[in-house]
Chains A and B, each alone.
Chain A
Amino acid sequence: MQDQLPESSEIAWQTLYAALDFDQGQQQARWADEVERRLKENGMTYQAHTQSQQALRQGRLDVVPYLMDEGTFATLSAGLIQRVRLFEAILADIYGPRQLLADGTLPPNLVFANPEYVIQSHGLELKTPWIGFLAHDLLLDANGQWRVLGCSTRAPAGLGYALERRMIMSRVMGYLLRQLSVKRLSGFFRTLRGLLRDESHTDELSILLSPGQQSDSYFEHAFLANYLDFTLAEGDDLTVRGGRLMLKTLSGLRPVSGVMRRVPDHDLDPLEMHGFSRQGTPGLMEVVRQGRVRMANVPGAGVIDSPLWMGRFERLCERLLGETLLLPSVAAWWLGDADEHAQAMAIWPAILVRHASVFPSGPSYVVADLSAEAQAALQQRIAADPAQWVAWEAVQIAETQVAQGTERIAAHGVVRLYTAQGLDRTVEVMPGGLAACNRDFRWAQLRPNMPELYKDIWVMGAEPDNQASILAEKEAPVLGSHDQSMTPSRVADAMFWLGRYVERCDSLTRVLRECLLGLIDVRLDRQQAGIWLLRYLTPVETDVPASVIAEIHRVFFTPGGAQSFSELVDAIMRNARATPDYLSDDAWRALVNLEQLIARANQIRADDPGRLLDQIEAVLMQLASFSGLNNDTMSRTFANRFMDIGRHLERASRTLVLLHYGYQTLTPQHANEWEMILEVTDTVMTYRRRYRTRLHPVAILDLLLLDEETPRAIGYLASRIERQVASLPVQQLGGRKTQLQRLGFGLHAHVQMIQVDELMTAYGAAKKPLFEQLTGLVNQLSGLSEAITLAYFSHADVPQQLLKASR
């Protein structure tokens, strides 16, 4: 294949190989390691985003890029652009006059039996293209002919990966990209953004609509949304009012003018589509129909994804565009057609068989590799419903070199290229993408979505590409510039609870640390103090230290228990995943480490308190690093403010409950116990510095309740909460902000009004009003929490019921 390439291409390969072969190929090996390492690092973040621990990203990234010269790219682009125009014409007919059905050009089942046919899209009169973006899989056969294998309107699955992998490649070997004048990808994204963002209405939003964290590609959604500076939204974030799609944000409802969609067609609108899904929102289809939102892709466009079309595009192109199809297809035989079935069976078993459902997913087989029984079984499945199956002849795909240590070996690649379409119908092809490689060319053809490895496609221009990036391509995307008040309410909700759970975990860890330290002490009074402290968390029957430690193990380190760390960490991760683009990568790493630490702590035996303590210390470190990261690296966004309020509300209630317990059960003589209270609240040093006296209940109350400088004292917390609440965005709906403000102010004022001598005797005994005050403050905190929920969070506002009139 290489001797057919133009001279400039030859030089490019030489340049590339020379760079890779430097140092007897050690350079290639080193770069491969670095690529691997960076992918793994991102993979950590990815893993944190997905619920299943097993979720692994498929396909390594080959250090050898897939080079494509500008001429080849231009030829392929012309062919893909023509195809997009053709698809637009086909879709306009299928969902419009249906001439192609009436005159017999299309077999009706191609449409009606197609699961992607959306009957509700019929009659759409679009001002936007049907296909805003599209992925095409192409292959180069051994004769040097490019052919199209299939296309997918679910294109952004992979678009984010393509971007991510390009970023890794340019970090590892950036100078090579410049040397080879590799074209940048950002222009393509600008077109995509232009389609979905209405620049004339800057108060309107563009969103990436994701099914949410249960989706496998949630991380990619977050990544792409970030790169395009779109808000990542889910069905529950949306509502339709006054004929417009609205996002529920912290500052009320905001109109949405563009939707990049990753939710399946049939889940978009529970009013019009069958079934009840919360991935979309009722009334959305009508908004699309009225042309009041731009959507990519338009519901129903997926009908062209079926591999059954491939053999028919030549004729359709002449019929609809009056042009010859520029890029031939790898034609599939439809086994539902008697003639095509006969042709396919004539070369059985030298064929590839796949289910006719959506390309490129669905079951697929290299028939020749199946056992005789498996072949017979497949024959039977096909015979049962032949219209659901297609067959291909295996194409001898041209070879490409992939790295293996310091050497290179041959593989076969299927090239995935993306097109975007502007409002003015100009189609742009992304100069780059991923090539899906497999050492077996038949599998490369059959499953381009599950390759052994990917290659980054480098399209080489004649001159260096000086196009400005949306964001600097070399750098990871940063948080977008959009108005913070447009943060979805759901995100703020999750951040609030993330803050609360992280604090709950912190507080629990601190208490358990003190308990264990006491229990393993040789002094009996220290042991008793440890048990006393534990009783604040959970009832303990025994006072034999070993049994108490076993009890700690059972209650807190057994997964599934209501009070267990695992439950807490699950809650932390669940809320963190709901806010993927509001946490930094480092914060994510801290959370992943936390999850792993807890998993390890659960493995520790009950009779090994020393190791348990080590793990607890490590957990505290991770929590501290998570908080530190958020304080240092996150801007003071609204979302972050909610996390802060959540943390400090939780911290204040924990401290109050602990004080209540302490003053109810202790006398001034319980020195160990009082010290533990100071340890748990991290105020030992402050106390010593300030009071220079032995521990006294009156001084402790003065410090922990009233002090405005100590981070775990109620005085400080109340003042912080008051300040944060006051700076929350003004709600457009109702006068709730003032109520919230009053509550924050009331809390702080309440603390300031407290006179310790009214609550305690000079000898350190608690008076009854102390407990009334403490309980009153706890109630004020929960009132505040409820008020925030009512004012800013959305769960009360989600469509609940489907009404159907009688028959």
Chain B
Amino acid sequence: MNYRIRHLNRYSYTQPVSLCHNLACLQPRDTLNQQVLTSRLVIQPFVEIVTERLDVFGNRLSQFAVEELHSELSVVAESVVEVRAAKPSVAPEIAWDAVTGVPAKTQVFLRPSPYIPAASDAMHQYADQSLVPGRSILDALTDLNRRMFEEFTYDGQFTDVDTPVEIAFNERRGVCQDFAHVMLSMCRAKGLACRYVSGYLETEPPPGMPKLMGADASHAWVSVFMPGAGWVDFDPTNGILPSERHITLAWGRDYGDVVPLKGLMTGGSQHQLVVQVDVTPAEVSF
């Protein structure tokens, strides 16, 4: 399945900005199940130098600075990505509490991270109900994923990008970023290596399928390392295991590693942000 993704970020300032340094993580990466066919970044006003690099996790980052006086900044990423259905994972029968052999480099995903401090007792207890000793890891996490979907409320107003995980958990509400952080926190508390995945969902569902939450913006979910099966994705916001309709943008320890676009500006006073994400099936093949 091929998708065309257009992700627009537009900042409007009440006062002109004289300097703005930006870091973007808006161009998708290749994964086992997806291949990026084309991808480009269009920045306005025009900037001379855009530096691209791969971060420690292999994500594509772009850094640039707008050094002229401007009152509006728009950054548009346009990509065409081919996504294959994830191979039905060879459901590892291994019990979640018997997992060993996490590769050394992957162990970074075992630790607390800036946005995901060590889990509270209440989060431990919540996870205990799904992660019963001896239960198979796939089973246990599918159950946790489903419970979160059923017991948490999707609420675009309650949290912002910096709301602590614990508040989202205690109130059982938030957006996909909060859902993902809460689940990651619980998995790490139980000694499972897991990462934050940012990406997209198809905007309009195929006929007969429900529209998924988070389809109008960038989305986020969770990926857990299972020895033998590799990384298995869970989308607690929708209570499903991602497949062909999820397009991966980047991954990291938490949101902080893969912020789609952040910037530091001089001047500007107030600003307003418009974000538009369109994900449509692409006819063209390359």
Contacts and interface: CB of A to CB of B under 8 A. Distances in A.
Contact of A243 (B9, B49, B259): B49
Given A122-B55, A242-B67, A806-B275, A271 B264 contact: yes
Nearest to B277: A806
B108 interface: yes
A109 to B, nearest CB: 7
Contacts of A239: 19
Interface string B244-270: 000000000001110111111111100
Q: Which of A98, A102, A800 has the most CB of B within 10 A?
A: A800
A123 B22 CA distance: 20
A290 to B, nearest CB: 7
Given A803-B264, A803-B273, A806-B217, A112 B108 contact: yes
A799 B23 contact: no
Given A243-B49, A799-B265, A807-B161, A102 B19 contact: no
Nearest to A798: B266
Given A123-B54, A271-B21, A806 B108 contact: no
Nearest to A104: B104
Interface in A259-288: 270-272, 274, 282-283, 286
Nearest to A242: B67
B273 A286 contact: no
A271 B263 contact: yes
Interface string A765-807: 0000000000000000000000000000000011111111111
Interface string A351-372: 0000000000000000000000
Contacts of B21: 240, 271, 282-283, 799
* Contact count band on A: 35 or more
Contact of A802 (B18, B255, B262): B262
Interface string B178-190: 0000000000000
B55 A241 contact: no
Given A800-B265, A807-B175, A274 B114 contact: yes
A684 to B, nearest CB: 51
Nearest to A111: B108
Q: Which of A123, A242, A286, A805 has the most CB of B within 10 A?
A: A805
Given A240-B65, A241-B65, A806-B273, A801 B54 contact: no
A277 to B, nearest CB: 11
B27 interface: no
A801 B265 contact: yes
B264 A282 contact: yes
A803 B218 contact: no
B87 interface: no
A797 B18 contact: yes
A272 B51 CA distance: 14
B51 A286 contact: yes
* Contact count band on B: 35 or more
B48 to A, nearest CB: 8
Contacts of B70: none
A805 B256 CA distance: 11
Interface string A585-596: 000000000000
A409 interface: no
A464 interface: no
Interface in B2-40: 9, 11, 18-23
Contacts of B257: 119
Interface in A116-146: 119-120, 122-123
B16 to A, nearest CB: 12
B271 interface: yes
B107 A112 contact: yes
A559 B36 CA distance: 67
Contacts, number: 115
Contacts of B54: 123
Contacts of A98: 104-105
B56 A123 contact: yes
B130 interface: no
Given A240-B65, A241-B19, A108 B107 contact: yes
A803 B24 CA distance: 11
A569 to B, nearest CB: 33
Interface string A289-309: 110000000000000000000
B220 interface: yes
Interface string A152-192: 00000000000000000000000000000000000000000
Q: Which of B20, B107, B259, B261 has the most CB of A within 10 A?
A: B107
B63 A286 contact: yes
A101 interface: yes
Given A241-B65, A290-B51, A797 B266 contact: yes
B176 interface: yes
Contacts of A346: none
Contacts of B63: 283, 286
Contacts of B65: 240-241, 283
A685 interface: no
Contacts of A274: 114, 256
A271 B49 contact: no
Contacts of B111: 109, 112-113
A99 to B, nearest CB: 10
B264 A270 contact: yes
B177 interface: yes
B211 interface: no
Given A282-B21, A286-B63, A803 B265 contact: yes
A807 B217 contact: yes
B56 A119 contact: yes
Q: Which of A112, A113, A242, A289 has the most CB of B within 10 A?
A: A112
Interface in A95-115: 98, 101-102, 104, 106, 108-109, 112-113
A240 B284 CA distance: 42
Given A109-B107, A241-B19, A807-B255, A801 B268 contact: yes
Nearest to B275: A806
Contacts of B271: 801, 803
A104 B101 CA distance: 12
A807 B220 contact: yes
A98 B105 CA distance: 8
Nearest to A103: B104
Contacts of B22: 271
Q: Which of B114, B263, B264, B275 has the most CB of A within 10 A?
A: B264
A802 B19 CA distance: 12
B104 A108 contact: yes
Contacts of A271: 21-23, 262-264
A802 B103 CA distance: 35
A803 B262 CA distance: 5
A98 B57 CA distance: 13
Given A270-B264, A799-B266, A805 B9 contact: yes
A241 B263 contact: no
B74 to A, nearest CB: 12
Contacts of B220: 807
Q: Which of A109, A797, A806 has the most CB of B within 10 A?
A: A806
A806 B265 contact: no
A121 to B, nearest CB: 9
A289 B52 CA distance: 12
A1 B9 CA distance: 71
Nearest to B54: A123
Given A798-B266, A803-B11, A807-B218, 6 more contacts: A106-B104, A119-B108, A271-B23, A806-B275, A807-B198, A807-B220
The 4 closest A-B pairs by CB, nearest first: A122-B56, A805-B261, A282-B264, A108-B107
28 contacts: A98-B105, A102-B103, A106-B104, A108-B104, A108-B105, A109-B111, A112-B107, A112-B108, A112-B110, A119-B257, A123-B55, A240-B65, A271-B23, A282-B264, A283-B21, A286-B51, A289-B53, A797-B19, A797-B266, A799-B19, A799-B265, A800-B266, A803-B264, A803-B265, A805-B275, A807-B198, A807-B218, A807-B255
Interface of A: 98, 101-102, 104, 106, 108-109, 112-113, 119-120, 122-123, 239-243, 270-272, 274, 282-283, 286, 289-290, 797-807
